[in-house]
Amino acid sequence: MLTKALFKTFLIAVACAFTIHAQTPDSLVLNVTVTNEKGMLSRGLRLESFAITVDKQPQKILSLSDQEVPASIGILIDDSGSQYVAPSDGLSLPGKLRPALERFLKLSNPANEYFVVTFNSEVQLVQDWTTDPQAVIDTLDTLKFKKLTAMFDAMTLALDKVKTGRNSKRVLLLISDGSDTNSRKSGFKQVRDKLKASDVVLYCIGANVALYPAGSVNYRWNLNDDVEKLAELSVASGGRAFFTKNLSEPLASNQVFELIALELRAHYQLVIAPDPPGAKAKFRKIKIEAKQGTERLTARTRLWYYR
């Protein structure tokens, strides 16, 4: 008869064996967000609640976890001239952005790590990897809001940098109006393909986009070319894009930053093992669905992987 200690050791060994089986070199880990018809996060789903196809071929889901895991997060802040907003109440835009970013950090997993990149005509890593929220907040004091915008160069640097993080979940948070006027090394296509081939989740906050009354957050909008590109990049990664007329409006910015923080903590992680690829590597299309009884759910994850 097994003693309690031996039985516990046996269970741990079985769990470890399952984990090793589930995450083979050919397996793919998907970070998945599920919401209901009201846009609220849906928790407590089982493995059989999900259906996944790759290039229209049904996939077996090897494992599912709804346990929260920490993330490695890069925060990219556009401090070019197009982001400048003259203060109407004596408080600068960094001062108004500070409470929203503080809210994001407070609601996020305490084990997260962060780096911060700012960009105008040049791209700067102003804060390397840190777990100190205050170090992230202090970077707001470096913002200049001058010169042109090298957004795609900043995104390329950040996509490489985030892969050096210690956590398996990788996220970029981009704060910009989406207008690139000075990138020298990268363009939209290069960034799009690099993002599609990665497992990085991108969230975009389009600041100072005059689309609808200040103080509101709209999920259906008429987009210009710049923010359309941000929306396309976000959706392809399994993230989201939000656009506000003025990021300094407390209602808009606080709501967006809070939503992103909570969503990152509510990801499901699904593991699949797609069939070995053919001789030629290519982008492969992922489609995911979720259901629970008669409730209509929306599941989001990366739309592509490259193999």
Residue 217 and residue 109 share a domain: yes
In-domain check, residue 17:
no
Q: Which of 95, 119, 219 is nearest to 178 (CA)?
A: 119
Q: What is the pTM assigned to this prediction?
A: 0.85
Share of the chain above pLDDT 90, in %: 63
Residue 91 and residue 45 share a domain: no
Supply the mean pLDDT for the chain. Answer: 84
Residue 113 and residue 207 share a domain: yes
In-domain check, residue 7:
no
Mean pLDDT, residues 151-166: 98
Residue 112 and residue 132 share a domain: yes
Structure tokens at 83: 């982001």
pLDDT of residue 234: 96
Residue 289 and residue 222 share a domain: no
Number of structural domains (the chain) is 2
pLDDT of residue 272: 95
Q: Which residues pair with 218 in a beta bridge?
A: 243
In-domain check, residue 200:
yes
pLDDT band at 287 (very low <50, low <70, confident <90, very high): very high
In-domain check, residue 90:
yes
In-domain check, residue 13:
no
pLDDT of residue 232: 93
Residue 140 and residue 165 share a domain: yes
In-domain check, residue 1:
no
pLDDT band at 296 (very low <50, low <70, confident <90, very high): confident
Residue 102 and residue 186 share a domain: yes
Residue 31 and residue 153 share a domain: no
Residue 92 and residue 174 share a domain: yes
For the domain that residue 80 is a member of, what is the CATH number?
A: 3.40.50.410
Residue 294 and residue 184 share a domain: no
In-domain check, residue 237:
yes
**Mean pLDDT lowest among 116-125, 207-216, 234-243:** 207-216
pLDDT of residue 278: 66
Residue 145 and residue 284 share a domain: no
In-domain check, residue 10:
no
What confidence tens digit (pLDDT) does each residue in 14-43 have?
333 333 344 566 789 999 999 999 989 999
pLDDT of residue 203: 96
Mean pLDDT, residues 205-230: 58
What confidence tens digit (pLDDT) does each residue in 92-136 have?
667 778 888 999 999 999 999 999 999 999 999 999 999 999 999
Q: Is the pLDDT of residue 251 over 60?
A: no
- Residue 229, domain extent: 71-265
Residue 286 and residue 180 share a domain: no
